[in-house]
Structure formats: structure tokens, C-alpha cells
Chain A
């Protein structure tokens, strides 16, 4: 199943030729030029490698590129897929400060209860937000963290809804992370038994004689088959009846999954053409097992994964190939991703960075140090992607249009980062300037654009930028360097990945 060296050589050629497809993404336009302009001092990293690493990680940082230079892009991706073997100690040490990540739902609920006053609904979800940002920034298992992000969107849960504020921490730990590169049916199974999901989609109110269809519908429409996946309203109603009584414990082990027989509808049901005999908990579990392996699910997930990693509008031919692998491997996510990459590269189109992509790629490419804390989350909020708070179950939008008109907070972030005005986050501009060896605006712009965009701006573009800066006034060397960094981070090219 592993892509051969030839496959990757094939990829490399096609990336370069697909580069001209987009006028709005100099990253790709400029790819072909990169080989003549090596960035940093990393030998053996091609423009294509840079683009691919950028797409599969939260930003092609120096550590990733060095590793690619060491072992080659093919081995690097194989290593990223077998993420368990990638040591992540330095990230794990940073995460030790977050005491709530490992607690049970019951404990999380208890420590949030201020008893005489209201609840502290912030400490627990804020630690999850901060830890998530730290992992995305510092983890060596970058591709795995990308998949965690993908599934967190796919199985979206908003911490703003009722008990989800603490239950999501458990969902993240026990549903999303263990199965992010496992088998989809296991992931779907775990999610269906996750109190955070059941509560988020109202299944605690799904009772015999008073069914609530919310979760039953979304598990088919958004989590597996897709809206055109071949289920009917009748199927939704019948599955809702199968799911009656799926809820969580409220005492002693509060927040643990609980099947409440007393409110379960034991009458026979029929879902997607199959008779479901009365057997309690097992009824919905049988359906969920089938949903996780269904051809419509393969197709729906294939579409979403291709949209995330290849293009906003992925071609049907690619989606079909990916779905075929899904079916052939019973939903082995690793195998699916191998096919997706092997077959998908020719179809790659620029993706507009979502706020998290934008912020974290800036941090990683500039080798920033950060605590992943409140100041960054404030920017994420103002850009429209505060973690774990998208209200509707479809997850944060994964196409360009919804994000494009909110540029101002990105520009402000760019300026603040370059000036080291973000609390808990720092970059070393003096060092970058020294490393570049640049003596004037043009050469620093060129060097920095290669670092951030994967290829330097053209002589003409560097000159245009330098002219603009000079016409607006002159500052000292360092402050001019800061403006150049800010401008490049804020530039149209850096908004794409």
C-alpha cells in the first residue's frame, strides 16, 4: 500500500506543472524557481517538498524540512503515518502543565463546580484549547495533529453547549486522538458512545414516547453517509428509536456513557432496510457498525478528506479512488491517506489558510516560542476560529470563501508577532536578520519570502515592496526587518497553504 519512490517522483513533477493554475497563490507559482534559490541552508529540500510538507503539517518548520532533507519526502511521510514511532517528548513535557487533560468527566465536573456560586466554565475548556495549540505548534507528529484537527471538525462539538464544556476534554482524549489514524468505524463507534457528542446533539432527550432525532440524523447526515447517502426520514426516525436511552450518568460517575433501559423503546425497528430486533443497546450499535463501513460513508469521507488536503472542489475521479481504498480496507484511515496523497497531488489547488493554519504556520516558520495561551486565542477568536466553539455540527468551514473577507485581524496579528507584542509569544528578529546575511531591504525581503512562502518573491516584487517601505519613511534596521516580516505574513501569498 505504501507509495513507491516512483509515485513520489511523479508527484514532484506534477506539482510543478500544476503551479501555474492559480494566480492567487505565489506559493505554487514560484515553486519552480525554488531550486535555484535554496532556503535556509537545508540541502536536499525541493520546492515540491516544501509545498507538500506545508499542506500536511501546520506549517513547514525548519525541523520538518531538516528531517525531509535527511530521509527524503517519501520516508518522511511514512514516518508521519506511523506517528507512534516519532518521539514527541519535548511536546509532551510542555503539556505537563495542563492538569485537566487526563481527568475523568466526573472529576472535571467537580473541579468546575464552585458549589455556592455558578460554575467555572472556562478553566477546563481553556486548558484544552491551549494544549491543542501547543500540540499543533510543537508536536513532531504533525500529520497526526492535522488528522486530529480534521476529525475534531468532522465530529464537531461546541464547548459552549451545556455540559460539553468539560465533556469535550474527554471526547478529545478518548474518541478523537486514539482513532485519528486508525479505523473509521472505531472512531464512529467511539464518538457515538461519547457523552459529549450525545449531549451536544440532544440524545439525552431522546426517550421512548418522545424521540429526539437530532443525533440520529447527524450521525448519518454529517458523520457517515452524507446528506445524499441514501437514508430516508423514516431511517432517521427508526434510528432515533434505536438510540433512545443513550445518555450519560449524572451521579457518581457523572459524564460516563450510560444506557438507560427504562427510556429505551424496545419495539422492533427497521433501519436502512435491515430489521432490528429488540436487543437494547446493541440495536443502534449494529447500525453504527454498518454506517462506519458503508460505501456512502466511504464516498462522503473521501470527499471531505480530499477537500481538506487537496482542493476545495476535489475531482470526482480522485474521490472515487479514495473511496475505493476506504471500502477495500474497511475504512483504514492510514491506507486512505496513502491513496489520497499518491493520487491526489496532481489535483492540488491552493487552500486558503483558516485562522489556525495562518497563526500556527507563522509561529512554526519563524521558529517562534509560545505558551499557546490566551493572547493567541483572542486572535483566533477575532479571526473567527476560537477553538471548540463552532456552534453547528458541521464543523468550521473548510473552503476559502467564508474566511476571506476578515483580513484585518490577520494583519494585526502579523504586525503584533513581528513586533513581539503578543503576550507569551516571541520571535527572534535579530537572529533572523543575522541568519539572512541581508544588508538591504530587497535582499532581506527576498530571503524572508523564501522562508515564509517557499520561494522568494521576484526581483520586481522585492523592489516594489522596498519602494513602498522607503516611500513611507525610514526606520532602523531591526524595525524595518519587523515591518518586512509583518508585511510578508500579511501578504496574500501567505494566506494560502
Chain B
């Protein structure tokens, strides 16, 4: 097996020597990473598949027409075969608008079952530990010149940039817009800004960049705390999405934003209608719904992707949880989808259809989706560089 991997390794082009394409900015890309491997079978439920109910006697989500369970606990049907976990029903309006695409059995071919390795490889956009250590988004940013000098071209919500953004300087990482502010008592902050204005008044390029930074600082300061009715969940994810929305609306040159939602490693008592995983799903769905509603006017230049490193075992374990699996699922939200739908070839859950120790198989490589987004929505044709040694197969999900 080792040799097979190695034969796939070819020369990885060095980021620094990669040709840079020039193109106008495309959509703003918001990348949501569900860390810990989300149990996608309980999110986009294959209720038309009998095997699902056999494999999960305790953890399955009731069929949409299951009269033995409460209506609000049943799967919300989407297309007669797949449906959403009821807690994800805040996403229904997005589905109804045609702005939601779900790619099932989507993921990477790595079968290490290791969070660390799978996340690393996926964020680097590679198949094995060899090759460039930079991230796919970092390579996207480095190979596309959009003529955008903004320090907010790429932002990472959190303490440090996500691995996918590595290899691109600068990426601003912030927990919130507050992180793009100067701190201290009011007088000190005002004095500091005044001093910066005086110090950065020259004609040299650095002074120009300083004034651009001051302008963004000023713009962000004027963003009134969102006082409208849309309620983001009171969580770091909800607050992060709200910050991203504000930054997009402030028009400060944002092209890429990355944000994480942690905690999906549900080996033990993951919960069906309440508990660990439903809380996370609620955070996710409420956050995405609020974001989508707030950004409706911007939907035609916005693409949001939700991904996870892999899915979980098709059968439940003895602790009312699920173990590490293989195939995952990607959610796509935006006004530039060709059509709504649950996409991807469904591999099935019968014993001979499962992969490895009993996992959902992968039928769509995650790079087919991300590659299509880079090419069609971000105007970057350099897919060979963004995903070295992988030939992206367009799925024609996007305009």
C-alpha cells in the first residue's frame, strides 16, 4: 500500500514560484469546518434506506411518516429519500429558495480515521503527508492577484489562521471585529489613532497602507452592533458568523473567511433529539440561517461551504455514540448554485456497500467541489496548484 501512495507523489510546485493569475474578485467564500468528524448520517438522513434504521436502532432519526414518533422528532423530508434532522429545519427556507446544496458521501480518500491527519490532509488539499505543507486556500490566495490590497482580504475567525490558509501572508486572524480595534481607555485609543494619523501621513507606500488600515478601522468602528431581529446563536460560532456578515457588508475587501465549529467527536451519548450533537446542530443551523437571512441581498456574490474531516461509523456503538467513519457530507449555501438538491452518488449502507469497518463510502472527492468553487466562483483557474496531483472533476453544481 505504501508503494501505491508513493507512486502518486509527483513534484509539488513550490508556492513561491507558482505563476500568479490576475482576475477580478469573485464571490466571498465563507468556509465552515466542523471539527471532530460530524455524524453526517444523522444530519442529512437517508430515510429511504432501510439499512440506516437497522444499523442505528437507538440513534436513528424517525422517518418523515413514522406515526409512532412525535412529528417534531421526525426527519424533515427533502426529496423523498433524504431529509434533514428536525433540528436542522432552520435551513429549510434556504432550501426553498434554491440556495442549499448537500453533497452526500463526500470526503477524502485518507482512511487513517485520525482527526489530526485527516484535517491536516484535507486543509492542505493533498492525499498524503508528502508534498507542500501549505493550505489550499493559501495557495488560492497566493496564485490569484485580484488587485486587492486590503489587510482583510482573508480573515480567519479564531486565534490563529486555519491550516487551509497557510502559506499566504498576510491573513488577519481575529475572534471578532473587536480584534481589529485598538484597545485601552477611550482617551488612549483616540490619542493613539490621532498619533497614527499624524505618523502615517507620508507619501511612501507604507504610509499608504497605514492609511488604508486606518480607513478600515474607522469603517469597522462605525458598524453598529447588529440590532435587527435576526438572532444569531450566542456561541463563538454564532458571533463569528455575525462578525463575518458585518465585515462583508462593510465592504472592506474581504475575499475569504474561515471559521470553525468544534466538538463533533461524538463517541459517547451523542444524543438524538437532545444532547451533545443536537446542540451542535442547533448552533450550526441557527447560525447559518441567521447569516443567510442577513446576507440575502448579497447572495449572488457569496458562497458558503460547510465541511468536516470525515463522517462517522454507519452503525451506532454500545455507548449510544458513533465511532470514526469515512464518507462525510458538504453543505453549500449561496445564490450561485445551479439548483438545490442532495447531490453525489449514494453508495448505500448494505454490508457490501460499506467501506472498511462499516463506514459510508466516499463517492465524491471534496476537491471536486472546492475546485469547482475556485474555478467558477473565485475566478482562479490555477487548480493544478491549489490541488496538486489531483484532477478536479467538475460536478456542475455552480453557475
Spell out A's residues near B (CB within 8 Å).
Answer: 23-24, 118-119, 121, 158, 160-162, 200, 202, 205, 207, 209-210, 212-214, 217, 227, 352, 378, 381-384, 386, 389, 391-394, 397, 402-409, 411-412, 415-416, 419, 421, 464-465, 467-469, 471-475, 479-480, 482-484, 486-487, 490-493, 495
* A201: nearest chain-B partner, CB-CB: B130
From B50-58, B193-201, B229-237, B354-362, give the one contacting chain A. B193-201
CA distance A486 to B192 in the complex (A): 7
Residue contacts A-B, CB under 8 angstroms, 10 given: A212-B6, A381-B160, A382-B172, A392-B15, A419-B184, A472-B191, A475-B187, A483-B192, A490-B192, A492-B199
Query: Do B187 and A394 have beta carbons less than 8 Å apart?
Result: no
- A386 and B162 CA atoms in complex are apart in Å by 13
Question: Which residues does chain B contribute within 8 Å of A490, judged by CB atoms?
Answer: 192, 195-196, 199
Contact between chains at B130 and A419 (CB < 8 Å)? no
Judge if B170 is at the interface, Cβ distance under 8 Å: yes
| Residues in A neighbouring B191, C-beta threshold 8 A | 468-469, 472-473, 475, 480, 483, 487
Interface positions of B from 129 to 148, Cβ below 8 Å from A = 129-135, 138
The 3 A-B pairs of least Cβ separation, nearest first, read A406-B170, A487-B195, A391-B133
Interface residues in chain B, defined as those with a beta carbon under 8 Å from any beta carbon in chain A = 2-3, 5-7, 9, 11-12, 14-17, 114-116, 120, 129-135, 138, 149-151, 159-161, 163, 166-167, 169-174, 180, 182-188, 190-207, 209-210, 212-213, 217
Give complex CA distance A464, B196 in Å.
11
CA A117 to CA B380, docked complex, whole Å: 40
Which of the listed residues B16, B134, B170, B186 has the most CB atoms from chain A within 10 Å of its own CB?
B170
* Complex contact B134–A411 (CB within 8 A): no
Question: Which residues in A have their C-beta under 8 angstroms from that of B170?
Answer: 383-384, 402-403, 405-406
Residues of A within 8 A of B16 (CB): 392, 394, 397
Please indicate the chain A residues that have their CB under 8 angstroms from the CB of B163 in the complex. 160
Task: Give the residues in chain B near A158, CB-CB below 8 Å.
Answer: 133
A sample of 19 more A-B contacts (CB under 8 A), given A118-B114, A409-B172, A479-B188, is A24-B206, A160-B120, A209-B3, A214-B130, A384-B169, A394-B14, A394-B16, A404-B205, A405-B151, A408-B180, A421-B183, A465-B199, A467-B198, A469-B194, A472-B193, A474-B187, A475-B185, A480-B191, A483-B195
Given A214-B11, A406-B151, A465-B195 contact (CB < 8 Å)? yes
Note all chain A residues with C-beta closer than 8 A to B161: 381
A395 to chain B, nearest CB (A): 9
Q: Which residues of A contact B116 (CB under 8 A)?
A: 118-119, 121
Given A411-B182, A483-B195, A205 and B188 touching (CB < 8 A)? no
Could you tell me the distance between the alpha carbons of A258 and B270 in the complex, rounded to whole angstroms?
A: 45
The reply to whether B188 and A475 form a contact with Cβ atoms under 8 Å apart is: yes
Please state if A492 and B129 are interface contacts (CB–CB under 8 Å). no
Residues of B within 8 A of A465 (CB): 195, 198-199
Contact A419 B11 (CB under 8 A): no
In angstroms, Cα B158 to Cα A378, docked, is 11
**B149 to nearest A CB, angstroms?**
6
A121, chain B: closest CB distance, angstroms: 7
> Once the chains bind, are A386 and B160 in contact (CB under 8 Å)?
yes
Q: Is the CB of A415 within 8 A of B182?
A: yes
